[in-house]
Amino acid sequence: MHPPREHRILVSTSTPMSATAPPVLSLNAVSKDFHARGYGRHGGDVLRAIDGVSLELRDSQTLGVVGESGSGKSTLAKLLVRLERPTSGEVSFMKNSIASFDAPGLKMFRRHVQMVFQDPYSSLPSRMSIRQILTEPLIIHQIGDQASRLERVRELVDQVGLRSSDLKRYPHEFSGGQRQRIAIARALMIDPRVVICDEPVSALDVSIRAQILKLLHDLQADRALGYLVISHDLRVVRYLCEDVAVMYLGRIVEQGRTAGVLERPAHPYTRALVGSVLDPEMATVAKTRRLSVLSGQIPSPLDRPQGCHFHPRCPLRSKLAEADQARCVTERPGLRALPDGRHAACHYAEKVLEHDRPHAPTDVVAGAG
């Protein structure tokens, strides 16, 4: 007996975006602690990688998550696909807690939420041919028969820019960029609603990053996929995502439309991130806005500063009156809505925006690191 044939995967589906539809994926006040065993004087301490994050991803939405290395981005991705469990808070798929899913529920969830990892060298099974790698998801989810599966495999191989003759080859025969194309095809085989991409081009040669980004962009546009794109590189998120969340030490510090947030950041951390990009177009933004570059290291999540986590590195703080500066040290700013609809977690976000006016004093510009 043939498994039930699924038609959905054979036609490109596009779900109309609706603000009233429930989010496909959501995090509600999620925190994640790790035990930092054997970390020097901190051995046995608890490391909070994610700290009370709430986030929603809707159908067709392209949401980027940016922040320096160590800010908790990969942990966030793992929580979203249940590779990690939250210490507190809830991750939901279509309003259902993913922690409660039984085996069939989890299978359905995995069908709709796929992931593309950073490293295409370790993420593909070495002993399987490309054809086997791409057919496997269809078999697991009992989609189609042999002929329609092969048809689907050929279709995807073509869409990601590989050739049918590549199907009999093995991952080690391909370059990093081609492997990432295979990983992307595999993620799309079962027509998911959401693809989570964790640093999708960071492990690739600089020369081929643009091609893979274009591929990701075109695939999203064609099928109205939801994307959650994680990157330490603002340019990746600017290219792929309409919305952005900026993370610092496990918290979201700014969130809104990518264009608005990057063009005129409301959080000093976002300003500094934008100021640190060495891309000509963004450098122009940085110059006209007189942004400082980011100085110093991100603190260890084991030694998180009091009050605003960013205050020891904050270029704005020294420009505030002393009484105002004290607040940054004592009071943790929550994420709050600003008049343009974005959210920022800075007591002085309005001042940051005002700072961007042409007569504002020039920031100290340290060497880009």
Ligand X SMILES: Nc1ncnc2c1ncn2[C@@H]1O[C@H](COP(=O)(O)OP(=O)(O)O)[C@@H](O)[C@H]1O
CA distance 227 to 60: 7
Q: Give the angle 128-132-134 at the CA atoms, nearest 5°.
A: 115
Q: Which position among 23, 28, 33, 34 is part of the footprint of ligand X (CB under 6 A)?
A: 34
61 belongs to the binding site for Mg ion (CB under 5 A): no
Choice between 64 and 301, CB closer to ligand X:
301
Residues between 70 and 89 that touch Mg ion (CB under 5 A):
73-74
231 belongs to the binding site for ligand X (CB under 6 A): no
Residues between 297 and 336 that touch ligand X (CB under 6 A):
301
Residue with tokens 């952005």: 244
Q: Which residues contact 369 (CB under 8 A, 6 or more apart)?
A: 276, 293, 294, 295
Q: Choose the one of ligand X, Mg ion, none that binds residue 301, judging by a C-beta under 5 to 8 angstroms depending on kind.
A: ligand X
| CA 266 vs CA 36, 42, 254, 282, 338: distances in Å | 33, 34, 7, 16, 9
**Quick one: DSSP state of residue 315?**
T
Enter the tokens of residue 305. Answer: 């500063």
| Residues 248-287, mask of contacts with ligand X (x by CB under 6 A) | ----------------------------------------
Total interface residues for ligand X by CB under 6 A: 13
73 belongs to the binding site for ligand X (CB under 6 A): yes
Consecutive H or E run containing 336: strand 336-337
70 belongs to the binding site for ligand X (CB under 6 A): yes
| CA 6 vs CA 106, 139, 184: distances in Å | 19, 12, 21
Q: Cβ 87 to ligand X, closest distance in Å?
A: 12
Q: Cβ 299 to Mg ion, closest distance in Å?
A: 17
Q: Which of these segments, 64-72, 175-183, 285-293, 343-351, binds ligand X (CB under 6 A)?
A: 64-72
CA distance 280 to 353: 22
Q: Choose the one of ligand X, Mg ion, none that binds residue 49, judging by a C-beta under 5 to 8 angstroms depending on kind.
A: ligand X
Q: Which residues bind Mg ion (CB under 5 A)?
A: 73-74
Q: Which residues bind ligand X (CB under 6 A)?
A: 34, 36, 47, 49, 67, 69-75, 301
